[in-house]
Amino acid sequence: MTVIDRFLKYVTFDTQSNEDAGITPSTPGQRVFAEALVSELQEIGLEDITLDDKCYLMATLPANTDKDLPAIGFIAHLDTSPDMCGRGVEPRIVFYKGGDIVLCEEEQIILSPKMFPELNDYKGEDIIVSNGRTLLGADDKAGVASIIAAMDFLKEHPEIKHGKIRVGFTPDEEIGAGADYFDVKKFGCLFAYTIDGGALGELEYENFNAAAAKVSFKGLNVHPGYAKDKMQNASLLAVEFASWLPSVQRPEHTSGYEGFYHLTNMVGTVELASLSYIIRDHDRKLFEEKKDIVRELVQRMNKLYPGSTTLDLHDQYYNMREIVEPKKQIIELAMDAMRAAGVMPLVKPIRGGTDGARLSFMELPCPNIFAGGLNFHGRYEFLPVNSLVKCMETIIKIAELLNIKY
């Protein structure tokens, strides 16, 4: 089975995570997918295959060299984003000649280079798209497919010498819980790579510092005909609060190393309302300042409307750069592997996070490597076939070069 065949199969599993579930895995489809992967890993001939009660799947490709090499790992996540439907995904391969791609003629859902100019980079290539009614699931089933296909290739080509390789597949990465129950000691690697990046060549060892904030507002509801000097509308308090945050620091106005406040959800009635934010910044000092601003605005709201506003604010993960950068040989190995696979490395900061961010702070340094997909979390997601193949080849080359260079 090719890496393309695997991917086309994997995206048919409904594995959306659910941040409101309160259990791990947050959705039953992730376990169904993991159990199917167990069977594939067994067929390939991997060893030490374990799937625990929290849906963390691990396996081993034993070393086939006498060299005393450190064990390395490759990690991808099982779930897809809850931001867009992941049920009933119908992938299809399109040879891209340029111009618009009609994803769904009935609803006139069109993938266009006018909106997504990065499409132009893939003229003359096969790309995989959905039917426009769902996301595709390249995030991160492209990573899952690449890892398993690479292990299959190495197993079938014993002439490629390598050390012990561990593979891991985690649940609930998309809701920030992918590393919650990851057993680093059991995984047993000196370092690892998450295969969860975007476009061809991306190599990332910087990510956002991340926090989540829920601001809740309490109102007073009375009959609107008799509301003068009595009513306090919680929804309007929420609107007022949202207006105080700097509009230039929203995701749609930021890029590169710029951080943001992102309003992800709002719920409101006259009596009760809430705003949910994610707060992001690469710079730790600016990250702390952003959190302080939210705290100050809550205090300001309570001065204007005593007792009206409460805040639940907690950190989610931190910038892995401080852990990975002192171990630059991990980065250099990945860059050399990309070049050996015919890929130009593109080192850039992640405007997001991966399991690797938290794992790096759990004593498993874990940079992030491209899986090839673009436009994640929505109906316009697509995956160039060549990028998927090159991802698989990069994994193989990392294993091979470690044996040569170590």
Residue environment code for 66-100, b if the CB has 16+ CB neighbours within 10 A, otherwise e: eeebebbbbbbbbbbbbebbbeebebeebebeeee
Q: Where are the beta strands (DSSP E) in 318-367?
A: 346-347
Residue 350 falls in which region: left (phi positive, over 0), alpha (psi -120 to 50) or beta: beta
| Contact in structure between 129 and 101 (CB atoms under 8 Å) | yes
Question: Would you call 214 helix, strand, or coil by DSSP?
Answer: strand
173 in catalytic set: yes
CA atoms of 375 and 235, how far apart (whole Å): 32
Helices (H), 159-250: 184-187, 234-244
Residue of 14, 172, 173, 381 marked active site: 173
Token code pair at residue 354:
């991966």
| Contact in structure between 16 and 29 (CB atoms under 8 Å) | yes
Chain-centroid distance, C-alpha 5: 22
CA neighbor of 310 nearest in space, from 186, 171, 207, 216: 216
Residue of 79, 140, 355, 393 marked active site: 79
CA atoms of 384 and 386, how far apart (whole Å): 6
Q: What pairs with residue 109 in β-bridges?
A: 104
- Degrees (nearest 5) of the Cα angle 265, 270, 276? 15
126 in catalytic set: no
Residues forming the active site: 79, 173
